[in-house]
């Protein structure tokens, strides 16, 4: 059940976030939330600012205004490496694994903040979530398929037991079949462990089918948001994705 429905505070929340490049905003006044065990999706047309929003949330670029809260703590504009230590894992769209290293070496790279005594147990936990990685632990990451690489990127991010995981277009360059497996099986499995998952995805309908809540971003602003099932059921869903035909009631709805 969403945190808002119980009166509890969401685990990861973004309040009126504005960010961009060279002093020029790409996103403006974006607000969203995701609780533990939930999947929140950000969708929208190309150039809507989806990846920019994620980069500002994880500290890859600076926010011009607004706040990012993790467990109630203001973590706005903390460097990505500091956010990792506080519990935010980040899987970027590109450069998500180290090709010259083996699967196990990649996972070890993700464990850099752990004590040596903690690493074996954490490896076992990650292999229990992704058994296929255990069978490939000696294989070079450069020899993995696209789906296997993304699974490894997830595993590396999980080595530090993040409470929130931010995924930037995880199905990019994957076949429709692999995309289905990645989202319906792996991302759902991660959420079931209690991790709060924030997902940017170009395959909008597929993302919404696994997400609890969806935010539609158009031209850098939140066009509409709500429960994913309810949004999918709207006959004007395709128009919403393009920023058209919002009703007066939609426009007057307060931000969640």
Per-residue pLDDT reduced to its tens digit, 57-77: 999 999 999 999 999 999 999
pLDDT at 8: 60
- 97 Cα distance to chain centroid: 17
- Residues ≥6 apart with Cβ < 8 Å to 38: 2, 191, 196, 197, 212, 213
Give the pLDDT confidence of 115-166 residue by residue, as tens digits: 999 999 999 999 999 999 999 999 999 999 999 999 999 999 999 999 999 9
- Spell out where 155-231 has E strands: 164-168, 196-200, 213-218, 221-227
248 band by pLDDT with thresholds 50, 70 and 90 = very low
Spelled out in words, what is the top-level CATH class assigned to the domain 3-99+157-252? alpha beta
How far apart CA 225 and CA 134 sit, in angstroms, is 39
Predicted confidence (pLDDT) per residue in 211-242, tens digit = 999 999 999 999 999 999 999 999 888 887 77
For the chain, which residues make up each domain, given as ranges?
Answer: 3-99+157-252
Per-residue pLDDT at 244:
62
Q: What is the pTM of this model?
A: 0.86
Distance CA 245, CA 80 (A): 38
């Amino acid at each position: 059940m969403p945190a808002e429905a119980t009166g509890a505070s969401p685990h990861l929340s973004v309040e009126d976030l504005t960010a961009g490049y060279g002093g020029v905003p790409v996103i403006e006044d974006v607000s969203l939330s995701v609780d533990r065990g939930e999947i929140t999706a950000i969708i929208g047309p190309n150039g809507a600012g989806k990846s920019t929003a994620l980069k500002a949330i994880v500290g890859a670029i600076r926010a011009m205004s607004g706040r990012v809260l993790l467990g109630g703590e203001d973590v706005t504009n903390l460097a990505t490496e500091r956010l990792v230590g506080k519990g935010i894992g980040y899987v970027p769209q590109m450069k998500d694994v180290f090709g010259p290293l083996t699967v196990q070496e990649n996972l070890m790279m993700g464990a850099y903040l752990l004590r040596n005594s903690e690493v074996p147990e954490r490896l076992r936990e990650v292999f229990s979530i992704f058994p296929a990685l255990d069978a490939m632990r000696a294989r070079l990451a450069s020899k993995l398929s696209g789906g296997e690489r993304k699974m490894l990127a997830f595993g590396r991010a999980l080595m530090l037991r993040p409470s929130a995981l931010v995924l930037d277009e995880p199905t990019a360059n994957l076949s429709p079949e692999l995309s289905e497996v990645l989202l319906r099986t792996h991302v759902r499995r991660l959420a079931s462990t209690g991790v709060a998952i924030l997902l940017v995805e170009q395959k909008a309908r597929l993302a919404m089918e696994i997400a609890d809540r969806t935010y539609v971003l158009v031209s850098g602003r939140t066009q509409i948001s709500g429960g994913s099932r309810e949004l999918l059921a709207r006959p004007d869903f395709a128009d919403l994705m393009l920023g058209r035909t919002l009703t007066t009631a939609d426009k007057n709805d307060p931000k969640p």
